Structure 1
């Protein structure tokens, strides 16, 4: 989810409004770094993004989770994600890869695994005006399209971002 720039910006813009507290680990940030570089981002661009995220959410970085990784039973490549979520006290883990976190692997830790579309819908349900304000702030930061919330919702609703229910409901409620 952090790899897709508009989705990442949306989720973090909503966090800036105080609706939830984002969490990530060094491993997650290194994974972000690798994947963005594979997709053509420069080292400078990735460094800038990581600096912005860290300075905007200094409390987001979870540490001290390494000892939990080996006891996780979810998909091995995502065990570090679940371990950091547990150590960080997360109630919800937002991911596109729902299959990598079967219920049996998260039930002992009382963490809900949610697709980004469902997570965004939950935020919209909690505070539609706050979410709309976050979306307006988000598009105001862009120098290129999307230049309005409607265009951003078009992007979020497409197959690549897979947040169509959120985009539709957001349009119905506040746009």
Structure 2
């Protein structure tokens, strides 16, 4: 079965609920995940700004674990591509550069307006919202997807979450279609 290579933008790594499911799917080889240290820096900075209960050491540990457990995810040496790229938000060019260098099929981002198809098509890359990406992953390999969701949910201890509570968490993070798709299978998650 063909798998996509998806470059994960900071906007989908910032919320732990989205990050956890994306990572579990990558660890389970449902798709190939890519990111860069600059993307890590962005999501870590945002979390530290908004979550005073977390420390840089905790988040750096998350970075190390991500890099260690998702095979070949870290994209490096993409910087020479940045200046030759054009996006409406110049600060997002590093994401496209790393996606190109990492041979990504798509960029998973909550900020679709920053990655218009007109700027990406030259590179044969598209941008997808995490809800759409996850919904596609669900349809490609339902049992493996549901198993990954269950694994993520079962790791939640403070507080533990029922399947329906977990689906509510996904909805709160904008994964409305994904939650709706898997709700009929809630006994498996």
**TM above 0.5:** yes
Q: Distance in 2 between matches of 1:146 and 1:92?
A: 33
Q: Distance in 2 between matches of 1:22 and 1:77?
A: 21
Q: Distance in 1 between matches of 2:66 and 2:25?
A: 13
Q: 2:122 aligns with which of 73, 85, 108?
A: 108
Aligned position for 2:43: 32
Residues 1:87 and 2:134 aligned together: no
Residues 1:162 and 2:149 aligned together: no
Q: 1:9 aligns with which of 16, 20, 23?
A: 20
TM-score relative to the length of structure 1? 0.94
C-alpha distance after superposition, 1:77-135 (max 9, x if no partner): 11101100010000011000000011111010000110000000000000111111001
Change (3 A) 1:143 1:174: closer
Structure 1 contact 26–61 (Cα < 8 Å) conserved? yes
Structure 2 contact 78–98 (Cα < 8 Å) conserved? yes
Q: 2:110 aligns with which of 96, 103, 111?
A: 96
Figure out how many residues of one structure are paired with residues of the other and give that number.
173
Q: 1:69 aligns with which of 82, 96, 120?
A: 82
Change (3 A) 1:165 1:146: farther
Question: Offset at 1:12?
Answer: 0.8
Structure 2 contact 164–186 (Cα < 8 Å) conserved? no
| TM-align CA RMSD | 1.3
C-alpha distance after superposition, 1:19-44 (max 9, x if no partner): 00110011101112211111222111
Aligned position for 2:3: none
Aligned position for 2:141: 127
Give the ranges of 4+ consecutive aligned residues of structure 1 lying more than 2 Å apart after TM superposition: 145-150, 172-175
C-alpha distance after superposition, 1:4-24 (max 9, x if no partner): 011110111111111001100
TM-score relative to the length of structure 2? 0.87
